[in-house]
């Protein structure tokens, strides 16, 4: 990030997430339209924490982790919205709160095919609208060859990372 909070590159975009390993499910952001849409890539590795137990004879990425990856891409689009030099810290609201994107709901979820180690996912999340501290997004996950994997509508709330109310 630049001193003014501006994104200098797409690599900076992942720094907007409050998530840390082992709970970051996006490897890179390849497209970002702040406040509108983001596209990220998740490379599914054979050393992922879930591989030994889900399922030992046929490792399959849990659907909830695919949904989480989709939400993390949406969080980048959302948190980048005001990264225009107005705020010193892009993770903070205009009132100085450090923002924490939280799930408020998931609708219209469909899983189209299993995801296994060695696959790469393209995750596209578009913000449909926000009102107050809440919003809705539409997300699609597909293999990098275009094969559909999952889709969902995601509802979110912006909380206070420092423990305040929504």
* Buried/exposed 70-94: b ≥16 CB within 10 Å, e otherwise: bbbbbbbbbbbebbeeebeebbbee
Distance, in Å, from the CA atom of 47 to the CA atom of 35, rounded to the nearest integer, reads: 33
The residues annotated as belonging to the active site are: 54
Count the Cβ atoms, other than its own, within 10 Å of residue 64: 11
Pairing assessment for the beta strands 120-131 and 28-33 based on DSSP bridges = unpaired
93-96, long-range: CB < 8 A, 24+ apart: 93/158
Residue 127, classified by CB atoms within 10 Å of its CB into exposed (0-12), middle (13-18) or buried (19+), is buried
């Amino acid at each position: 990030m630049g001193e003014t909070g501006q994104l200098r590159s797409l690599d900076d975009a992942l720094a907007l997430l409050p998530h840390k390993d082992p709970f970051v499910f996006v490897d890179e952001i390849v497209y970002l339209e702040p406040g509108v849409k983001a596209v990220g890539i998740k490379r599914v590795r054979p050393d992922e924490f879930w591989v030994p137990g889900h399922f030992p004879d046929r490792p399959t990425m849990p659907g909830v982790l695919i949904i989480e990856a989709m939400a993390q891409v949406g969080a980048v689009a959302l948190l980048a919205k005001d990264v225009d030099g107005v705020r010193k810290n892009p993770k903070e609201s205009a009132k100085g709160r450090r923002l924490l994107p939280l799930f408020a709901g998931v609708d219209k979820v469909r899983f189209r095919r299993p995801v296994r180690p060695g696959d790469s996912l393209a995750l596209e999340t578009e913000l449909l609208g926000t009102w107050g501290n809440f919003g809705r997004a539409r997300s699609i996950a597909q293999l990098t060859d275009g094969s559909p994997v999952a889709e969902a509508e995601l509802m979110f709330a912006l909380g206070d990372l420092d423990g305040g109310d929504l």
